[in-house]
Amino acid sequence: LEHTASGLEIGDISGAIDYRHGHGLRARELKAALWGQPLRAQIGPGPVAASGRRSMKLQARAAVTSASVQRWLRLPALAFADGSSEWELSIDWPAGGSGEPPRLLLRSDLQGLAVTLPPPFGKSAEQLRALEVRTEASESTRNWRVRYANLATALFESGHRDLRGRVVLGDGAISRRTLPEQGVSISGQLQQLKVQDWLSTVERIQRLEHAAGREFDNAWTLTVQGLRVLELDLFGQVLRRPVLDLSMVEQRWQLGWRHPRTAGRLRLPISGEPYQFDLDRLYLPLAGASLKLVERAPADGLLAEIDPGSLPHARVHIDQLKFDQQALGQWSFTTVPGRRRL
C-alpha cells in the first residue's frame, strides 16, 4: 500500500478485506510491516468529501524508530532524535473522481524518543511531548503541517520548485499566503535562548548536511526574522527582550540582535576561525544598573560572574561603547580564551 504524496509504503499486508458496492473497502484486523516494524491497521469509511462522496480511511498503529523517519524524510537534521516511539497513522483517500488529494495524519507522544535540542525543544526519552504531522498534496505541490506541543507550528511546501516553509515558535497560525518565496523562515517568541547552545546546534546541522552531500546555499535558505526572546544568554551576559535575526551572508551564518543597550551582528566561523562580532552599540552594564568605572574589579565584583572559558575566540569591533553612561568611543580587539584567563 503506497501513499504516493508522502512516499510512505506499507508492505506484507495480511488479513480479511471486505468490499461492498457503495461502501468501499473495510477491514477490522490487518497486519502489516512499516519499515520492518509490525503494524496493525483497520480500513473503514472516512468523512464525506466536498463532492458529497464518502472517502476511505486507514488507521494504524506502529512503533517507529527515529532512524526510519530520518531515512523517509531524508533530513539529516533529524539525527537530533534518537530512540523509538508509538505512532498513530491515519490516511483518508477521497472517493474516485473527486479530484481531492489524499490526506495523511501522523501523531505521537514521543515517549521513548530522546530529542537532543537545546531547551525548550529537547526532551528525555521518558518525557511526553505531542507531535502531529499532516500532509496534503495536489498535482504540483505537497504541503506538510507540523505542530510540536505548544512550542512550534510549521508549514512546509515542496513541489517543482525548492522547498519553502515557515515556522512559528510559540502559539501561532500559518497560512500559505505567508510562506516565503523560497527557503524556510522562523519567527515567533521564545521564553529563553542560550546563544552558545544554538550555535553548537547550527554547526552540527551543517556537518550533518555536508556529510549527506546537502549544502546550505541559495537554493535552500534558512532565516530567522524578528524572533522575540524574553531572556537571551549571550556568552554569559543576559539580555531581556531582545529581537533576533539569523541569515546566511557570504556563505556564513550571521546572527543579529536589537536591544536598547546593545545591537549588532555575530558571524559564525568557518574551519576554526574566530567568531566575528560587529556591534553598533554596547552600553554596559547590560542590565542598566549603575556601576562605577574601576581600573581593577575585586574578585567578587563586576567580572566575578564571567567565566573566561565561556567566551569565544573572537574578533570584536564596537562603534559606540559606553560604561555607566560614560562614552568610551570606538573599540576593536581580539579575545583569546584560556582555561582560567582571557
Question: What is the pTM (predicted TM-score) of this model?
Answer: 0.79
Looking at residue 123, its pLDDT comes to 95
CA 10 – CA 30 distance, rounded (Å)? 11
Looking at 82-96, 100-114, 154-168, which range is the least confident one?
154-168
- Give a three-class secondary structure readout of the chain: CEECCCCEECEEEECCCEEECCCEEEEEEEEEEECCEEEEEEEEEEEECCCCCEEEEEEEEEEEEHHHHHHHHCCHHHHHEEEEEEEEEEEEECCCCCCCCCEEEEEECCCCEEECCCCCCCECCCCCCCEEEEEEECCCEEEEEEEECCCEEEEEEEECCCCEEEEEECCCCCCHHHCCCCEEEEEEEEEEEEHHHHHHHHHHHHHHHHHCCCCCCCCCCEEEEEEEEEEEEECCEEEECCEEEEEEECCEEEEEEEECCEEEEEECCCCCCCEEEEEEEEEECCCCCCCCCCCCCCCCCCCCCCCHHHCCCEEEEEEEEEECCEEEEEEEEEECCCCCCC
Query: Mind listing the pLDDT tens digit for each residue in 171-211?
Result: 888 988 889 888 889 999 999 999 888 878 877 776 776 67
Provide the pLDDT confidence category of residue 292 given band limits of 50, 70 and 90.
very low
Looking at residue 208, its pLDDT comes to 72
Does residue 96 or residue 120 have the better pLDDT?
A: 120
Q: Average pLDDT of the chain?
A: 83
Is the four-CA dihedral 66, 69, 74, 75 of positive or negative sign?
negative
Give the residue-averaged pLDDT of 283-308. 57
Give the residue-averaged pLDDT of 78-106. 82
Query: Mind listing the pLDDT tens digit for each residue in 221-233?
Result: 789 999 999 999 8
Looking at residue 42, its pLDDT comes to 92
pLDDT at 302 over 90: no
Instruction: Say what percent of the chain tops pLDDT 70.
Output: 81
Does residue 179 or residue 95 have the better pLDDT?
A: 179
Query: Mind listing the pLDDT tens digit for each residue in 21-64?
Result: 877 789 988 999 888 889 999 998 887 766 667 788 989 999 98
Looking at residue 16, its pLDDT comes to 93
